[in-house]
Structure 1
């Protein structure tokens, strides 16, 4: 049976909580690691165990889970067939994933170049981006030889091998992306439109198997990487305007805190006056 806990707070305590509310998320982000999990093994529904505990159940190919906020440390991940009794007979792993506070990771279960299931831990680039810029990260996690990545028909990334990645900084906008064998332009995946959003790391996974003809693309995005959101240009170069109304959350919190403080002060003054009247 669950028990409820009732906490009494004074006006001053509420003010302190309101003041800290805006700081808590940033402080938490500095003390935890973020972990996402990508499933890139075709035809295999799996369960994911973290430190021998079932974390993802019936995880399907092409799915992305997370991000999870985890304390920094090393985590043991095992991937089993779906509905396995425990993590004792994994199809991938167990592998140890060292996670550092303040960093963002994606653990990808995928095929190696020869078609064998494996796992790779990627560190996602969450560095700040200049106004009007986006980041494109391409990861080769398919059972296929080295590839070139074509952007609007031209080779933007060349000779990318499994399980490597390449990172580009581009003007925000939509590109037509395709994957071809290195040195060629005939797509083996795509072309597909990929939106490189301003202030966002758009991560594209080339996954599947060339031999089995099930190559595919999957996309993960990490937003909020603006270096100076207020200076973002709007309506230029055919891009959608990205300016938003000013965030007044801080003003509302400040006003609420001041109101609580005033109420608390008034309550104290009222109690003192009542006590003085009773003594007369």
Structure 2
């Protein structure tokens, strides 16, 4: 069976992470493992929050899930495709994913609409990528901005928008290709608490409305329990617990945040 079609038992499993291990560095100078034997399965559209201290490995895991990093061991299977089976597999999976970044990752001197249109670059034919986006893509970009409440700011430069508005542009861009999976890496870390809550509420509404699966990394337990259907606690690159959000109690959180137990870099 070709690596790109490596299937596992259970056709309904949207995302499977098996025995993932990742460390930075090369073979001659490797750092300690950032992720250690991480495994979990998501079978249907839900919000899964990766919860833990800064430096626990959450961002590294998100970057493995979106194909930006290649784990040394284990595998990630998304909709029946081995994400790291080949470059073709990775591209195929990435076209069904959208990522929201902590620092927004926007081109500040371009408009909100232009930033959303960048989501289509990798999906357009090579020759077409040299031409301005057509009316269909323009309409799709505007529809995404309308979805996040920023239609009136579509042609405003993003450096003139507030931090919360910029993150909403980032969400619109992540949704532009109609992904099945949205990944969000500490999406409210750079925002004040009130604005951050507005962004998290928006993500939750859109996840429900569009029937998406979302994997979101956070470090605030209250935010995680309010947003998530399921919480995966990560400490020092290891899964400490994997529970429905209502089953995450103070005892689990104390074990997760006990800094005397150490953490990953």
Question: Normalising by structure 2, what TM-score?
Answer: 0.29
Give the structure, 1 or 2, with the largest relative contact order (CA under 8 Å, sep 6 or more).
2
Which is greater in Rg?
1
Question: Which one has a larger percent helix, Structure 1 or Structure 2?
Answer: 2
